[in-house]
Structure 1
Amino acid sequence: ILYYSYSDKLVHDKMAQDDFDKKSATLFGPHLEEARLQRENVRNNLNKMVEYCETQFTCRRQLQLHYFGENFGPDKCGKTCDNCWSGRSGNGEKRDVSDLARAFVEIVQVVGGDKPISALTKIFRGSAEKVTCCSSLLPPPDLSVSLRQRSALST
């Protein structure tokens, strides 16, 4: 069983940054560079942990054994990890969502980045309802991305 929340990453990242800040106040030259490298190593390891916890399409045994330097393919897993067991491993779909990403960024620019993600998502998906947000009614902006493309993201 894996207990994980993205906030765990944020907490550990902050702790590592605070530790680096304390050390760097008294270090200089090569010692400071060594502390920076340690900090970068901690960041990389945290990102690997997040990748491991959040992956839905990669064999977890493959990730674990790769971490220890072993070459292990998902075909050897025998459906012993949750992703292989569910049939998701290796079945990720690749699609170009550049237009959708640009449309979402445009919404954030038009509406404002201080709005809740739920309101931005409703606008992005072209919801007919007016979104009440921060004491103002926000009509869905007329953007070039079709509703069909937007709704494809929710599938």
Structure 2
Amino acid sequence: EAVVSGERSASEITKEFFSRIRENEKEIGAFISLCEERAKEKAAHVDAKRARGEPLGKLAGVPIGVKDNIHVLGLNTTCASRMLENYQAPFHATVIENIEAEDGIILGKLNMDEFAMGSTTRYSAFHPTHNPWDLSRVPGGSSGGSAAAIAARFCAIALGS
């Protein structure tokens, strides 16, 4: 609503969320990868649409994290496995097409148990994810990166599976 009303810009919101991620991500490990430039470009596009008076989507300016087993065109989809470390998604998953159409801002890909086989998010090939409220605990899984990202306020919406 803040973006649609003009109270806040999508660019401003996106910068704030990336700032929070930079401050705390190392100790939490919610993300496998970030797409900051892509997110800033999308936010600028949303702001330009608003400036032109064009209608904005229902997710205009909303920062979103995507579990790393969901395809986002051009981003790596690793399923938290070294085996897929360099696999780049050749298309958008339907949910991502819908997010893009509604002007959501994708911030990056979220950690998970490798191939979604686990319940702690300690079994990612890249790094474990910690519970932001108590770093000695796990956030659960296999969508632990999604849970941790929401709890840490790294994104407003996180996709899991």
Same fold (TM over 0.5): no
- TM-score, normalised by the number of residues in structure 2: 0.27
- TM-score, normalised by the number of residues in structure 1: 0.28
In terms of fraction of residues, the more helix-rich structure is 1
Which has more radius of gyration?
1
In terms of fraction of residues, the more strand-rich structure is 2
